[in-house]
Amino acid sequence: MSEQPRTLSSASLVGLVAKREISARIRDKNFIISSAVILLLLLGSLALQVALDSGTEESRIGVVGDVPGLEQALQAQGEALDVDVSAVDLADEAAATAAIEAEDVDSALVVRDGEYELLVQESAGGSLEAIVQGAVSQLSVAEQLAEAGISDLDVPEVPVVALDPDADQDSQRVVAAIIGAGLLYGLLILFGQFIAQGVVEEKASRVVELLLATMKPWQLLAGKILGLGVLGLAQIVVIAVVGVAGAIAFDVVDIPGDLIGTAVSVVLWFVLAYAFYAAIFAVAASLVSRQEDLGTVLMPTTLVLVAAFVVGIQASANPDGTLATVTSLVPGLSPLVMPVRQAAGEVAAWEVGLAVLLMLVAIALTVRLGGRIYAGALLRTGGKLKMREALKAERA
């Protein structure tokens, strides 16, 4: 009748499975909700950051009367107190009152015969009063000194020596790395759950027997991991781009390059961590036949992830400590510790290389051994299967 069936390569089978996973998942309510929640959280925390960080206040001060040097003195005082002061010349007191009521200015300084008066709507904030008082005192002192014939007063300046000039940037990078580790942790748990539920769904509905009649277990496993991995990667990339772009746009960070570097390293570590944990979650899930039993088999892996996250946070405070140094090399822990160490301190290139290499070896071993357990366990339904039994079944 129509087209004759073609032979399918492993790649196209894996691709078919992956495509089904993606199309099933993006229509899944849980996935949509969790994605939306993550993005909202991210945008919310950015907004909060912006609100907290808008450190420099602004103040518009109206000035009635002509006092030379007053505007400069007000601005100098404002600078010292982190307030952006601008002075607006106003004609008279009535104009000043009108301007305050119209909220054109926050306050108005009226100068009449060497007497000063500050007009405000309700009350002068602490900083406003200090600025005006400081400026007026400064002018008055200068005037009186000039009258006494003292000029060129030698006031010693206090130079500031920063012990750690990069501390600010460092702390920004560390914050970014901690957020990154948190994201990694959350996404790994989330996608691990998705994978595990998918595996059990296929077992519980017995559709797996029909699938395995057309493909090998590893092709099914690879397709599932790949499909959800594409989604996970897309999600973390979107989050990273939105987060970094938002941080740069709202001027939350000083050196965008560092932030981008941290974001890229988090994304790359996600790929390694995902491959490792997705395989473990899938294999663990293959040992049970009901969604209700998932909790028990996923618990040990989840605990490892929690531990990795906690160690990662600890590493931000003490990036060169023994605990952080060792765990940043241990496969499974490294993806959540190494990016934090990289951001918080100096990590030699060979350390990163070694961590990546060990992780790759661990992934290869997991996929190989896990694939066999998975293959042996898929067609065994009933209670919870032991790994040893599954391996035996695979050889049978």
Q: Which residues make up the interface to other proteins (CB under 8 A)? A: 1-3, 5-8, 13, 16, 20, 24, 201-202, 205-216, 379, 381, 396
Our CB check for other proteins shows the closer of 112 and 216 to be 216
Our CB check for other proteins shows the closer of 106 and 202 to be 202
| Local structure of 214: helix, strand or coil | coil
Cβ-Cβ contacts under 8 Å for 346 (sequence gap 6 or more):
320
Contact 73, 139 (CB under 8 A): yes
- The CB-of-345 to other proteins minimum distance in angstroms stands at 48
The residue among 193, 207, 198, 189 whose CA lies nearest residue 273 is 189
- The CB-of-295 to other proteins minimum distance in angstroms stands at 21
Our CB check for other proteins shows the closer of 319 and 371 to be 371
Sequence letter at residue 179: I
- The CB-of-1 to other proteins minimum distance in angstroms stands at 7
- The CB-of-29 to other proteins minimum distance in angstroms stands at 11
- The CB-of-7 to other proteins minimum distance in angstroms stands at 5
Q: Which residues are 89's β-sheet partners?
A: 63
Sequence letter at residue 347: V
Query: What one-character-per-residue DSSP string does 40-90 give?
Result: HHHHHHHHHHHHHH---EEEEEEEES--TTHHHHHHHHHHHTTEEEEEEEE
- The CB-of-212 to other proteins minimum distance in angstroms stands at 6
Our CB check for other proteins shows the closer of 3 and 115 to be 3
- The CB-of-382 to other proteins minimum distance in angstroms stands at 12
- The CB-of-210 to other proteins minimum distance in angstroms stands at 5
Location of structure tokens 């190494």 = 338
Our CB check for other proteins shows the closer of 163 and 213 to be 213
Our CB check for other proteins shows the closer of 2 and 322 to be 2
Our CB check for other proteins shows the closer of 6 and 163 to be 6
- The CB-of-14 to other proteins minimum distance in angstroms stands at 11
Cβ-Cβ contacts under 8 Å for 198 (sequence gap 6 or more):
21, 224, 228
Rounded CA-CA distance 364/375 in Å is 16
Contact 74, 138 (CB under 8 A): no
Would you give the distance in Å from CA 264 to the centre of its chain? 12
**What tokens does 266 get?**
């988090």
- The CB-of-229 to other proteins minimum distance in angstroms stands at 20
The residue among 210, 218, 271, 215 whose CA lies nearest residue 240 is 271
**What tokens does 4 get?**
């004759």
DSSP H helical segments within the chain, as ranges? Answer: 10-25, 29-53, 70-80, 93-101, 126-147, 167-204, 207-212, 217-249, 256-286, 294-317, 322-327, 334-344, 349-377, 387-395
Our CB check for other proteins shows the closer of 24 and 40 to be 24
Our CB check for other proteins shows the closer of 1 and 153 to be 1
Our CB check for other proteins shows the closer of 20 and 60 to be 20
Rounded CA-CA distance 296/213 in Å is 30
